[in-house]
Amino acid sequence: MPPNGSRISGEPLLKRFDESTQSGARRHEPPYPEPAGRRIEGGEARDGFGRRLVRLHSLVMRRSFWSTYAMPQVSVRRMSAEQVAEVTGVWRRSRLDAAPEIEARLGHSLEDDLGHFGDVVMRECDVWIAELDGLIVGMMAIRGGHLEKLYVEPNRQRLGIGTLLLDKAKSESPSGLTLFTHQVNSRARGFYEARGFEPIEFGMSSMPENEPDVKYAWSPRRSENAA
């Protein structure tokens, strides 16, 4: 287990990763053709060793083998200072994907984002990342019980990564969490509401954004009572 992060057993997540990254007809097929049958022409598989070899080959060719033993796992850990460019990239791509019109209106450049991340976010927040196979695929920033940011790389969404990060935020915030999101962000609202957050206030975000937003709250006590 890393010193400041948690290694997460990825079985259910990796199943979903595997399924959602395979396209078209390959989606429900093993990565290589299944062997046609147990029988190998020529008679050499008829002895015990040959049969065991065929069974081993058949096991290795199954998708479940690859998703259990060969697929990478997601780990959640605190970001380090040298990861600022990579984390800013995830935050920026995810924002542009979630709200392209708002982002076009605001027009923040990559340099603006890097500056904001280094000068404000890293100084004021506790920043966590999700890593998959050595790549940063998600990030979140918490400031005193308030979830400032939670962003997953667009092509890695709906695989459970946001939930892993949110679970870490909950475990780091024993008195509860609040957050704001845009009212039109149905993806984020569905995500938070399915994970125990309740809308507590509808309003407008500050200038220059000036968008209808909603404040959500989660409390561990309420979640325990609901369970």
Ligand X SMILES: CC(C)(COP(=O)(O)OP(=O)(O)OC[C@H]1O[C@@H](n2cnc3c(N)ncnc32)[C@H](O)[C@@H]1OP(=O)(O)O)[C@@H](O)C(=O)NCCC(=O)NCCS
- List residues binding ligand X (CB under 6 A): 94, 98, 150-152, 157-163, 179, 181, 185-188, 190-191, 194
- Which CB atom, from 82 or from 101, has the smaller least distance to ligand X? 101
212 backbone dihedrals φ, ψ, rounded to 5°: -60, 130
- Which CB atom, from 122 or from 165, has the smaller least distance to ligand X? 165
107 backbone dihedrals φ, ψ, rounded to 5°: 65, 35
Q: Which helix (H) or strand (E) holds 213?
A: strand 212-218
Tell me the closest approach of the beta carbon of residue 164 to ligand X, in angstroms. 7
- Which CB atom, from 58 or from 148, has the smaller least distance to ligand X? 148
Tell me the closest approach of the beta carbon of residue 77 to ligand X, in angstroms. 17
- Which residue type, as a one-letter code, is found at position 179? L
Tell me the closest approach of the beta carbon of residue 151 to ligand X, in angstroms. 5
Distance CA 180, CA 203 (A): 10
User: Given its phi and psi angles, is residue 108 left (phi above 0), alpha (psi -120 to 50 degrees) or beta?
Assistant: beta
Instruction: Using the structure block, give the residue that is written with the tokens 């407008």.
Output: 204
- Which CB atom, from 194 or from 227, has the smaller least distance to ligand X? 194
Tell me the closest approach of the beta carbon of residue 45 to ligand X, in angstroms. 43
- Which residue type, as a one-letter code, is found at position 222? R
**DSSP state, residue 19:** H
- β-pairing, 198-204 vs 146-152, is unpaired
Distance CA 52, CA 100 (A): 55
Distance CA 110, CA 147 (A): 22
Tell me the closest approach of the beta carbon of residue 155 to ligand X, in angstroms. 11
- Which CB atom, from 116 or from 187, has the smaller least distance to ligand X? 187
Distance CA 109, CA 69 (A): 41
Tell me the closest approach of the beta carbon of residue 68 to ligand X, in angstroms. 20
- Which CB atom, from 1 or from 194, has the smaller least distance to ligand X? 194
- Which CB atom, from 122 or from 159, has the smaller least distance to ligand X? 159
Distance CA 78, CA 140 (A): 10
Tell me the closest approach of the beta carbon of residue 39 to ligand X, in angstroms. 42
